[in-house]
Chain A
Amino acid sequence: MHRIVLSIRWVGRLTIRACAGVGRFTIFTAHAFSHVFRPPFYFRELLNAVLAIGYFSLPVVALTALFAGGALALQIYAGGSRFDAQATVPSVVAIGMVRELGPVLCGLMVAGRAASAIAAELATMKVTDQIDALTTLSTDPVKFLVTPRVVAAALVMPVLTGVGDILGIMGGYLVGVYRLGFNSAAYLQTTLQFLQRPDVTSGLAKAAVFGLIIALVGCYFGMNSGRGAKGVGRATTGAVAASSALIIASNYVLTEIFFPA
């Protein structure tokens, strides 16, 4: 009996804490968005964030996409050969990359690189009182630190994903032509003919949402960091885990929205 009461209490406490966390994150998000179109604008911060999140993520995104595209081509060839459908390699690689793998892989790679970096930077600022210092210098820390990163991530992620899409298709093409014996011109032609505009735009829209998630979660964990070096570490790992999970979950929801069965 006693044990049942205790476990109910435990579940209740956990639920309350989870709800409170979601509520706080929602308020935080609304606060960050409310400053997007409200001056003053911090262009310098925005530019720095674009470089940090976007430019420096290019190599890892490019490599990942290239190899993922190649592997995808091999798998589809092997799977397709079971029912004589090897010819679908170019089109399935293209659609798989552009709709799913491009945005999701790009989102996860950037979550690993940027959400962690953002969380660590802001958590360090938090534990060294720099965030409080911003406030006492009449500057809203959310407006100064969060809004530029959120805008930058939402702008930069579709671009990164676009690059990832192209390189992923390239990876599929290289494997298709040099390993699987496809005709080079025919491979490209099939790809281009098959892809439709919504395939591409839905993927890029997903990427923008993932960008929002990465920056918001990274900033939220950073600004709510616990004290000391331990707090910074926990904020960093928490940000990566939470943003990755949110990306995967929201990817399913977005896919349902864009391509309902």
Chain B
Amino acid sequence: MTDPVIELTEVGKSFGSNRVLRNISLTVGHGESFALIGSSGTGKSVAIKCILGLMRPDTGRISLFGRETGGRDAAMYDRIGMLFQEGALFDSMCVWHNVAFRLMRGERKLAPARAKEIAVRKLERVGLGAETADLYPSELSGGMKKRVGLARAIATDPELIFFDEPTTGLDPIRATMINDLIRGIVTESGATAVTITHDMGSVMKISNRAGLLHAGEIVWLGSSDTLKTESNPFIRQFVEGSSEGPISVAI
């Protein structure tokens, strides 16, 4: 494997008595597309927030781009794009302002006209017409919000992109479209990608390696291509969508 972009060593995180992450060690190499699988509420979003420095893990170490993450480092974030689970669009700003947010600030500080031009191009890349640019997030459907979030995540062509449940809540057709989009974006940019999902179709389509999070630990790590034939009981249960197996789900 090439030099790691993300490295987690024995990371643990609890909220009160709720031990969400117990002991996670994980490495994602440069140019890799990694999928983090797990049922709802297992701490996938928490894991990403810890990696991004948005939450502080209780134990363990995390490094990004070969440097241990400590304080919030604007230069580090400049190399990263993040699609939040619910989009997390700024609802006080119109769509193109959302997409161009980072373009108009910091060292780039592009003039609004130029920033809008790029924002519209990114919106087109994710399949949204220029007419959406002036809408506000409250005027968008769920699928459109995901796309705008996607456009915002890739606006500055980051080297490392996180996608938190990009297809959850979408119909199967739109889910496939988003999967294709993400695969296209990741392959054409050569960025390292981490996708959180519980949709096995997504995993096989957009990632080359995957890990399964269960009860605060990574219980399986392997190639996404062999998922279908994998004999690991956790993976079998996920692939088959069965209620019988090692993963017991409280209703």
Q: Is A7 an interface residue (CB 8 A)?
A: no
Kindly list chain B residues whose C-beta atoms are within 8 Å of the C-beta of A125: 90
Contact A136 B105 (CB under 8 A): no
Q: Is A128 an interface residue (CB 8 A)?
A: yes
Q: Mark A119-143, 1 if CB is under 8 A from B, else 0.
A: 0000001001110111111111000
- Which single residue of chain A is at the shortest CB-CB distance from B75? A138
Total A-B residue contacts, Cβ distance less than 8 Å? 52
Q: Is A181 an interface residue (CB 8 A)?
A: no
Q: Is B220 an interface residue (CB 8 A)?
A: no
Contact B105 A132 (CB under 8 A): no
Contact B72 A135 (CB under 8 A): yes
Contact B52 A136 (CB under 8 A): yes
Measured in the bound complex, the distance between the Cα atoms of B86 and A209 in whole Å is 38
Q: Is A260 an interface residue (CB 8 A)?
A: no
Chain B residues bordering chain A, tally (CB within 8 A): 24
Contact B74 A132 (CB under 8 A): no
Q: Is B213 an interface residue (CB 8 A)?
A: no
Binds A, one of B77-85, B181-189, B197-205: B77-85
Contact A136 B101 (CB under 8 A): no
Kindly list chain B residues whose C-beta atoms are within 8 Å of the C-beta of A128: 86, 88
- Which single residue of chain B is at the shortest CB-CB distance from A48? B92
Interface centre among A130, A133, A134, A137 (most CB of B within 10 A): A137
Measured in the bound complex, the distance between the Cα atoms of B153 and A132 in whole Å is 13
Contact A129 B88 (CB under 8 A): yes
Contact A138 B77 (CB under 8 A): yes
Q: Mark B134-157, 1 if CB is under 8 A from A, else 0.
A: 000000000000000000100000
Contact A138 B106 (CB under 8 A): yes
Kindly list chain B residues whose C-beta atoms are within 8 Å of the C-beta of A138: 74-75, 77-78, 102, 105-106
Q: Is B219 an interface residue (CB 8 A)?
A: no
A136-B52, A136-B77 known; A130 vs B102 contact (CB < 8 Å):
no
Measured in the bound complex, the distance between the Cα atoms of B72 and A140 in whole Å is 9
- Which single residue of chain A is at the shortest CB-CB distance from B101? A137
Kindly list chain A residues whose C-beta atoms are within 8 Å of the C-beta of B78: 138
Kindly list chain A residues whose C-beta atoms are within 8 Å of the C-beta of B84: 129, 132-133
Q: Report A's interface with B, CB cutoff 8 A.
A: 40, 125, 128-130, 132-140
12 A-B residue pairings within 8 Å (CB atoms): A129-B86, A130-B89, A132-B49, A134-B90, A135-B52, A135-B53, A137-B152, A138-B77, A138-B102, A139-B74, A139-B102, A140-B74
Q: Name 10 extra pairs, CB < 8 A, besides A133-B89, A136-B80.
A: A128-B86, A129-B88, A132-B84, A134-B90, A135-B52, A137-B101, A137-B105, A138-B78, A138-B106, A140-B72
